[in-house]
Amino acid sequence: MKKKNCIIFFVIFILLCSCGKNDAKNGKKKNDSNITTENQKMEAEKYNSYVLLYNHLLQIDEYIGYYFEIAGANEKMKKLEGKVNVPSVNQSVIDTVKESIGKAPEMKELDSSARDLMPLLSEMKTLTDQMTEYYKDGNYYKNKYLRTEMHLKFLEITKRYRTVSAKFKNAFKNRANEQKNRTAEKIKKEGKIIEYELITFIDSCGAILDEIEREKLSAENVTNADLAKFKELEIKMTASLDKLKNSFENKSILKKENYHTSDFTSFLLYTERFKESTAKFISRIEKKENIEAKLLQNNPSLKNEPGTPENIFYEYNELIREYNKLSN
């Protein structure tokens, strides 16, 4: 069986120190002291550096999957057919996180696991830069010894990377859930209906992704999905979207929270795209429509194929990009 590719999703940037749009536009003073506000800002900046790292790890995971699809995950390489994709490790992400680790406030689990990752990512970057240079001209067989040596090193470093990165990812998910719940509770108490409904809707979309990951679904096995469970999640997501739309259309809420209907035009387009992607995914499960074999050979294109888990994750990414624009 082919190794299932990891799929990227972008985590919401929840700023602890963010105020509502109403407060920002009207220049209202916060109840918090200046010291508290500065502490919140520091925490938000540090947390967002870990968001950056988390997303980058998922990008690395995706391209590890692409590489092993072509080269194989065994010591003996497969015959190379098609483009060889190699992970790209971003030095600026490493530098940003290194700078953040020692800063206040302490985030014990995240700090510790991120610190363990840094030397490993630097080591991986050296190797993957070498591999990228080797494969860039498409002449894969110019140096069999070097190609084999790089492959064996990549197998070894990937094994260590998965263990260390899993520790960070788990710590991050725990922190992200705490952050999300804290933020949702705060804005609910403050009566910020639109912001609360936005977070609730995004959460309902995320639940669909969580179930895809829980069932370990990909384009290869999509028809094995739990149809009843996904229909249930779709109903919840649609109901949440309807409530969100109602708040966008409520003039008194818009006025109170200092929004305009036009603020959400672009975001609503992406909510419909995600809704449609989910509907096509469920339809494929229901009709037992398998993905064509030639599409399975071209993994990067699967994100554009309707009814695939990869397409749902891609549309979620786009939705989150738009959400982050609203949040900022």
pLDDT in tens, 154-205: 999 999 999 999 999 999 999 988 888 888 899 999 999 999 999 999 999 9
What residues have CB less than 8 Å from 222, skipping those under 6 apart? 281, 284, 285, 290, 291, 307, 308, 309
CATH 1.10.20 correct for 192-328: no
What residues have CB less than 8 Å from 261, skipping those under 6 apart? 248, 249, 254
pLDDT, position 109: 96
Residue 231 has pLDDT above 60, yes or no: yes
Contact of 315 with 7, CB cutoff 8 Å: no
Query: Could you read off the pLDDT of 255-278 as tens digits, one per residue?
Result: 999 999 999 999 999 999 999 999
pLDDT, position 35: 64
pTM score? 0.78
Name the token pair of 159: 């094994």
Name the residue among 175, 46, 172 with its Cα closest to residue 117.
172
pLDDT, position 36: 64
Contact of 263 with 326, CB cutoff 8 Å: yes
Give the mean model confidence (pLDDT) for residues 233-238. 98
Query: Could you read off the pLDDT of 202-226 as tens digits, one per residue?
Result: 999 999 999 999 999 999 999 999 9
pLDDT, position 88: 97
Q: Would you list the DSSP string of 112-137?
A: HHHHHHHHHHHHHHHHHHHHHHHHTT
Contact of 63 with 85, CB cutoff 8 Å: yes
Distance of CA 180 to the CA centre of its chain: 15
Give the whole-angstrom CA distance, residue 307 versus residue 297: 17
Q: What percent of the chain has pLDDT over 90?
A: 70
